[in-house]
Structure 1
Amino acid sequence: MDKPQQQLDKRQVRIAFNRAADSYDGVAVLQREVGERLLERLELIRLEPQWALDLGAGTGQITRGLLKRYRGSRVVALDLAEAMLTHTRRSAGWWRRPRLVCADAEQLPLADASVDLLVSNLTLQWCNSLEQTFAEFRRVLRPGGALFFTTFGPDTLRELRESWAEVDGHSHTNRFIDLHDIGDALVRAGLAEPVMDMEMLTLTYRELPTLVREIKELGAHNVTRGRARSLTGRARWRAFEQAYESRRRDGVLPLSYEVIYGHAWAPTGVRQQRSGDEVRVPLDMLKGR
């Protein structure tokens, strides 16, 4: 279980991505590349989903890919930030609209066994409980439904994290979960035949302010509860700059991303029924706009 200071402040996550919605596409080079690689992996399976869910839709890259690939399917775009969904709606094209749902991945307002395909690009790292998230994935997937996802592993932003660690004891980056722990969580959630793999990607920058600005424009800056609440003073910033500059190689500053890919299946068989006072909305009730 994460330490309290490592827990994400979901309110701040929503605020950060709402603010980043207009700038996101201009700096999301790595995110788009990972999204394309994720969409390519759908070619590994034969599936014609009645309902496909893009979970953590952002500005709609995966949503557009699903609309194009599965022309006979109904596609749902779900995101925590309503401003991101506004961009998804605008970018989807006039000829075919996705259904839009503003919600948390850890508490999906969707009915049991209602989705045939769930695709999630770089969203799991914004969830506090992987167990809860995968349990929700398992719940909304129909028997035989497929899950494809990407997320970031522990070596992501390694240079940023290590540089700040030389300056103070605050949390300056979000936490990322190990590939093996993600695979174990899939199994515990009852998802079948999980397959996991990983690759390292590195972005390079000439100047540190550009690196930091792009992280903020992505909405990906630190939103852990243990983050520093005061402004970074000049002395601490200079110490951070010096620490990061020591990592400069061949004239550029590296920023590493450990990209984890995974897919699994909802097993065929009897599904457990949930109880409680939560409202679950059948996807057939969602309007296209």
Structure 2
Amino acid sequence: MSNQPYFLHHHLAEQADSRLAIVRHTPKHIILVGADGDFSRQKLAARYPQAKFSEYDPHPERLQHAAAQRQHGLLHKITGKHIAQHAQSPQDRLPEHHADMLWSNLNLVWADDLPATLSNWSQALQKDGLLFFTHFGADSLPEIRQIIDAPHFLLRDMHDVGDMLFHHGFYDPIMDTAQLHLDYENFATLQHDLQFTGLWRSLNVANADQAWQTLRHAWDKGALRQISVEILHGHAIKKTVLPENEHVLQFYPRKMP
């Protein structure tokens, strides 16, 4: 495995960016939910050079790291200027109707309340604003869940997440999945990656120390050299919410005989 802590974020930022090729919409303001080593911001700035960015993450040190990355190279210095950063949890309210795109790369894993977070994302977008995100799916970590007791696993499958999007502020949600297989040569790297990505948090184990001891014992017996991770790719459009008793009227041209 790479010793770069954002290796997975980097890979998924490239994949998610490639999906924007078919999008005709050119965002003017992009909210980044998750400071992923500045990889997503770099991709989006290259595609949308006139866009302004604001960045949110619950980990202040990750915001600081992203800001530091923008000091390397002339292009990054130019495109990375004046990006407002905010250290806050996924449920903390974002500015209302603030952006026309919201982009989140593996940050939803830190949300305590998934529906509330999706509603928060929706209200932060302008009319017909675009949401693009990556997340971990329910088929992640089968090798680990066969070894330790994790009855309250927090990750959901793509159909559940798609339904949540539809019921919490978005329409036309499109979800698809991919499987990644990560190879490990030492237990310390595996432990770091599980914690850094939030996957360990998603296991929601009752006794963390005991769980780590169990995994270490399994590792010493030759298990866990390869870990499977399911990745969800999702995008959707902000749903227009009308005041009570108001409806959209649509007029269609009359066909002449």
TM normalised by structure 1 equals 0.72
What letter corresponds to residue 103 of structure 1 in structure 2? Q
The structure-2 alpha-carbon separation of the partners of 1:258 and 1:231, relative to structure 1 and needing over 3 Å to count, comes to closer
Distance 2:127 2:25 in 1: 13
Moved more, 119-128 or 201-210: 201-210
Matches within 5 A, 1:1-289: 26-92=4-70, 93-96=76-79, 97=81, 98-110=83-95, 112-165=96-149, 171=150, 175-216=154-195, 220-222=199-201, 226-228=205-207, 230=209, 236=214, 239-241=217-219, 245-246=222-223, 253-268=225-240, 270=242
The structure-2 alpha-carbon separation of the partners of 1:223 and 1:265, relative to structure 1 and needing over 3 Å to count, comes to closer
Query: Number of aligned pairs?
Result: 236
How far off its partner does 1:240 sit?
3.0
Runs of 4 or more above 6 Å deviation: 231-234
Distance 1:61 1:267 in 2: 28
SS of corresponding position for 2:239: coil
How far off its partner does 1:224 sit?
6.7
How far off its partner does 1:65 sit?
1.8
Distance 1:190 1:218 in 2: 26
How far off its partner does 1:180 sit?
0.6
- Give yes or no for contact 1:174–1:223 (8 Å, CA) kept in 2: yes
Q: Counterpart of 1:280?
A: none
Distance 1:233 1:107 in 2: 31
How far off its partner does 1:35 sit?
1.5
Moved more, 42-51 or 116-125: 42-51
Moved more, 203-212 or 74-83: 203-212
How far off its partner does 1:94 sit?
2.2
What letter corresponds to residue 94 of structure 1 in structure 2? K
- Give yes or no for contact 2:31–2:54 (8 Å, CA) kept in 1: yes
Larger relative CO (CA 8 A, sep 6+): 1 or 2? 1
How far off its partner does 1:226 sit?
4.4
TM normalised by structure 2 equals 0.80
- Give yes or no for contact 1:186–1:194 (8 Å, CA) kept in 2: yes
SS of corresponding position for 1:89: helix
How far off its partner does 1:241 sit?
2.9
The structure-2 alpha-carbon separation of the partners of 1:232 and 1:225, relative to structure 1 and needing over 3 Å to count, comes to closer
Gaps of 5+ in 2: 71-75, 245-257
Gaps of 5+ in 1: 1-23, 166-170, 248-252, 273-289
Identical pairs, percent:
25
- Give yes or no for contact 1:172–1:227 (8 Å, CA) kept in 2: no
How far off its partner does 1:61 sit?
1.1
How far off its partner does 1:210 sit?
3.6
